[in-house]
Structure 1
Amino acid sequence: MNETLREQQYALARHLRDPQRNAPPPGVEARRLKIYRELFYGAIEGLLAGSFPVMRQALGERRWHARVRDFYANYRSQTPLFTEIAEAFVDYLQGVALDTPWQLELAHYEWVEAQLYLSDAEDPLHDPAGDLLDGEPLLSCVARVLAYRWPVERIGADYLPTVAPQTPTLLLVYRDAGLQVRFARLAPMAYQLLVGQGSGQERLQALSGDLQQGVALLEGLRAQGVIIGTRRDVVLRPSPTL
């Protein structure tokens, strides 16, 4: 590529990303530059607004656009895929000073919700009718067990906490059979049961939990499709010798 053309393209890209700090390349009509700036920024802002609607409302228009413009100008995304821009935005938030203490957790929560809605993942090999006490309970590939300092599922334009609660927010987020993403608050025991290791019985014993209550919880989650059964390990058979 001609070096002059390459430098013009870079100059244009720098200007479109951050017009306040980068002059446009010479010879480009101001009216056209304005159209390009609005189109490029509008595409990114629209994608993020669709992925983080609660954050946009909670921050308000001025702070929201300031945050998106800073992301657009300064974050160097490694993905060419529009579907991964939301994940890049969450990554960006981890490296900047935030003007609200709950901003990163709220963004992560909204990103998980969007990821589950769009996911085409497939569940691993499992036994749908497996014994949830003797076997290892297996979560659906479209279910997540999450813990946050802030009550992310309540934050919005009408609720903007400034002090984190003493107890964490424990959530189950999952996509149901109707392809709707739902969430449920978890009690500490239910959270530990779902993130634990080993068989259902081993998890309950580690928690000193009531066996009958634990089984009822696991079976209820299986009925909802959150737990898909028990893990079934793949047995690799040796290749036949000639």
Structure 2
Amino acid sequence: MDKTLEQQLLCLAHYVRDPAGSAPPEGMEPRRLAIYRRLFYGNIESMLASGFPVLCASLGSADWHRLVQDFYAHYRCQTPLFTELASEFVLYLEQGASDGLKLPQWLSELAHYERVESVLLLSNAQPPVVHPSAGVLDTVLVLSELAWPLAYQWPVCDIGPGHLPKNPLSEPTLLLAQRKDDHKVYFSRLAPLAYAVLASVQQQQWTGRQHLAALAESMGVTLDAVLPSGQALLEQLFLQGVISG
């Protein structure tokens, strides 16, 4: 590519990304540059707004556009795939947007929560085959790729334009996101015991008995103390397709 043309295209790209911090290309009408800017920015903003409707509504129009403009101008995505744009946006928020934006502390968790549904819907994973006769205590358990245990400091299920919390909860919000056979994603609340079991299954390739033994040790009780309720919980999760052998 001709060096002059390459430099012109780079100058145009920088300006379209960040017109406030970049010089416009020489010889191009401001009207045409504004068209390019609206076209590219509008496409990105529209995709993100459709992927994060609660976040967008909760911030309000002005703060939402400032956030997307900062993302568009300064964040460097690691993939060219539009289907992964929302995941890149979540990473951008987790890494910390520009300090001058003064964003609410719950923002990155709400974005993650909203993104989970899309990721599960687009996943090519298949639900595990359920074998009701399998003995969960002596089977090495694995977590379904379509079931995600989630823990948040903020009440992500309740955040919206009418409820913008100032402080995190004293207890975490524990959830299970699962795509079921009807190809819909469902969110359900998890008790601390159920979350602890699923987190253990997610991290370790152990039998059901080993998971319950580790849980009992962390609680300072004997295995016998948690075995009846723990076994019943594992069997329930097994039948629901959340875990498998």
Question: TM-score range, shorter-chain basis?
Answer: 0.7 to 0.9
Which one of the candidate residues 163, 169, 177 is aligned to 1:165? 169
The range that moved more, 151-160 or 9-18, is 151-160
The range that moved more, 214-223 or 32-41, is 214-223
Shift of 1:31: 2.5
Write the distance in 2 (CA, Å) between the matches of 1:127 and 1:110: 28
Q: Secondary structure at the match of 2:137?
A: coil
**1:112 matches 2:119:** no
The answer to whether the Cα contact below 8 Å between 1:8 and 1:25 also exists between their aligned partners in 2 is: yes
The range that moved more, 92-101 or 34-43, is 92-101
Q: Secondary structure at the match of 2:193?
A: helix
**1:174 matches 2:178:** yes
The answer to whether the Cα contact below 8 Å between 1:173 and 1:181 also exists between their aligned partners in 2 is: yes
In the alignment, structure 2 segments of 5+ residues that lack a partner are: 217-224
The answer to whether the Cα contact below 8 Å between 1:177 and 1:225 also exists between their aligned partners in 2 is: no
Provide Cα deviations, 1:98-150, integer angstroms capped at 9, x if missing partner.
Answer: 510111111111122211111113568x8745321111222211111111111
Q: Could you say which residue in structure 2 is the equivalent of 1:220? A: 236
The answer to whether the Cα contact below 8 Å between 1:146 and 1:172 also exists between their aligned partners in 2 is: yes
Q: Could you say which residue in structure 2 is the equivalent of 1:236? A: none
Q: Could you say which residue in structure 2 is the equivalent of 1:73? A: 73
Q: Runs ≥4 in structure 1, deviation > 4 angstroms?
A: none
Shift of 1:80: 0.7
Q: Could you say which residue in structure 2 is the equivalent of 1:199? A: 207
**Equivalent residue runs for 1:20-59 within 5 Å:** 20-59=20-59
Shift of 1:200: 1.4
Q: Secondary structure at the match of 1:145?
A: strand
**Equivalent residue runs for 1:114-153 within 5 Å:** 114-122=118-126, 128-129=131-132, 130-153=134-157
Q: Letter of the aligned partner of 1:95 in structure 2?
A: G
Label 1:111 to 1:159 Cα distance change in 2 as closer, same or farther (>3 A).
same
Q: Could you say which residue in structure 2 is the equivalent of 1:185? A: 189
Write the distance in 2 (CA, Å) between the matches of 1:127 and 1:116: 19
Question: What is the CA RMSD across the aligned residues, in angstroms?
Answer: 1.8
TM-score by length of 2: 0.86
Write the distance in 2 (CA, Å) between the matches of 1:44 and 1:150: 27
Shift of 1:15: 0.8
Percentage of matched positions with identical amino acids: 51
The answer to whether the Cα contact below 8 Å between 2:148 and 2:178 also exists between their aligned partners in 1 is: yes
Q: Secondary structure at the match of 1:210?
A: helix
Write the distance in 2 (CA, Å) between the matches of 1:190 and 1:224: 13
Provide Cα deviations, 1:154-177, integer angstroms capped at 9, x if missing partner.
Answer: 111111111111111111111111
Q: Letter of the aligned partner of 2:209 in structure 1?
A: Q
Shift of 1:90: 1.4
Higher share in helix: 2
TM-score by length of 1: 0.87
Q: Letter of the aligned partner of 1:39 in structure 2?
A: L
The answer to whether the Cα contact below 8 Å between 1:173 and 1:184 also exists between their aligned partners in 2 is: yes
